[in-house]
Amino acid sequence: MSDPFDLSDTPAYRSWREDKLGRSPTRIDALTVPLKTLGAPTKGELDAICEAVARGNLALIRCADPSGIEPGAMLGLGRHLGLTRLDANLCADEKAVSRIAVRPGGQTGEYIPYTDRPLSWHTDGYYNPQGSEVRAWMLFCVRDATSGGENALLDPELVYIRLRDQDPAMIAALMEPDAMTVPANAAEGQELRAASTGPVFSVIDGHLNMRYSARARNIQWREGQTLDAARECLTGLLSRPDVYIFRHKLRPGEGYVSNNVLHNRTGFTDAAGADRLLLRIRYLDRVRARPSSEQTGTCHAHPGLDHPDTTVQDEER
């Protein structure tokens, strides 16, 4: 059976590559889907979201009514898209929705997502254990920042193509099972999360998965010249303009639905009394190729962790 991600199967890769590049838009407008009501999407709206995600692993949703951005509506949309396994511990559904806002003091205030500082390139949940990979997320804007807070977004499949075209050995190095280790997260002598070792690129259920953080600190990389070269190449790709890198600032009522694309965030400034607020859900499922009837959600538990906000290691949004 042909496999485009098998480095020895060049014909399958060439065919997949041609199809992927032919489908990939160079403007985020092509992935934008207007939605009348977030919690009650029509079949046509769901089809449009699935089609966008199938093309670019990303849809930019634009809701007519920004006041409809709330956890229940987001979770409902997710179920229509086949997103049922929440990356959270508590099974009360709305606890799986993280409020991304500046929080001075307290535990979450130690993490960059909960500050106004810039976040470097990453995929969500890169510190999750193997078998609990974050494969999709959605992020909606309730209030935007007065200035800044823009995202850059890039489809990992296009990164894979760029690197494999340059040297397939770099892909092999990034697929090594011990390529990247995120040390344990400990506070006051208590381990909040075990160390996480795994590849950057892996294939799950036939789909490419990327696990990555551009953080210079707190990531341990496997030693090796080829992996060093791959990391350098990757850093270069992410630091220069590329037709496939989208830059967008979410406005109230807008949101992304994504198969965990690479992303970053610029720093921002809030006006007094109108703090930036985004709502985020992470999933262990990918967005369905076709929408389904709404299903009942289930909750995935990380042993020893209490709440998604407490699992945040660094860059989230």
Cα(213)–Cα(134) distance, integer angstroms: 14
Nearer to Fe ion, 124 or 144 (CB): 124
Per CB under 5 A, does 116 bind Fe ion? no
Window contacting Fe ion (CB under 5 A); options: 23-31, 183-191, 286-294, 308-316: 308-316
Find the shortest distance in angstroms from Cβ 117 to Fe ion. 14
Contact 113, 315 (CB under 8 A): yes
3-state secondary structure of 108: helix
Find the shortest distance in angstroms from Cβ 108 to Fe ion. 14
Cα(163)–Cα(115) distance, integer angstroms: 33
* 213-247 as b/e: b if 16+ CB within 10 A: bbbeeebeebeeebbebbbebbeebbeeeeebbbe
Window contacting Fe ion (CB under 5 A); options: 98-106, 175-183, 241-249, 309-317: 309-317
User: Site residues for Fe ion, window 121-140 (CB under 5 A)?
Assistant: 124
Cα(86)–Cα(301) distance, integer angstroms: 8
Nearer to Fe ion, 46 or 245 (CB): 245
Find the shortest distance in angstroms from Cβ 13 to Fe ion. 28
Contact 170, 102 (CB under 8 A): no
Nearer to Fe ion, 41 or 209 (CB): 209
- Using CB under 5 A as the binding criterion, the count of chain residues that bind Fe ion stands at 3
> Which single residue is written with the structure tokens 């080829």?
226
Nearer to Fe ion, 124 or 157 (CB): 124
Find the shortest distance in angstroms from Cβ 218 to Fe ion. 16
Find the shortest distance in angstroms from Cβ 47 to Fe ion. 27
Find the shortest distance in angstroms from Cβ 312 to Fe ion. 10
For residue 125, the tally of other CB atoms under 10 A from its CB is 24
What is the DSSP annotation of 8-20? T-HHHHHHHHHHH
> Which single residue is written with the structure tokens 């042993």?
303
Per CB under 5 A, does 316 bind Fe ion? yes
Nearer to Fe ion, 270 or 316 (CB): 316
Contact 151, 248 (CB under 8 A): yes
> Which single residue is written with the structure tokens 């179920």?
79
Nearer to Fe ion, 133 or 316 (CB): 316
Cα(298)–Cα(32) distance, integer angstroms: 28
Window contacting Fe ion (CB under 5 A); options: 28-36, 52-60, 118-126, 141-149: 118-126
Window contacting Fe ion (CB under 5 A); options: 62-70, 104-112, 116-124, 163-171: 116-124
Nearest one of 56, 69, 45 to 263, comparing CA atoms: 56
> Which single residue is written with the structure tokens 């997320």?
137
Per CB under 5 A, does 317 bind Fe ion? yes
Cα(71)–Cα(271) distance, integer angstroms: 24
Find the shortest distance in angstroms from Cβ 165 to Fe ion. 27
Nearest one of 12, 50, 11 to 291, comparing CA atoms: 50
Per CB under 5 A, does 144 bind Fe ion? no
- CA end-to-end span of the chain: 38
Per CB under 5 A, does 87 bind Fe ion? no
Nearer to Fe ion, 4 or 125 (CB): 125
Find the shortest distance in angstroms from Cβ 161 to Fe ion. 22
Q: Which stretches of the chain bind Fe ion, using CB under 5 A?
A: 124, 316-317
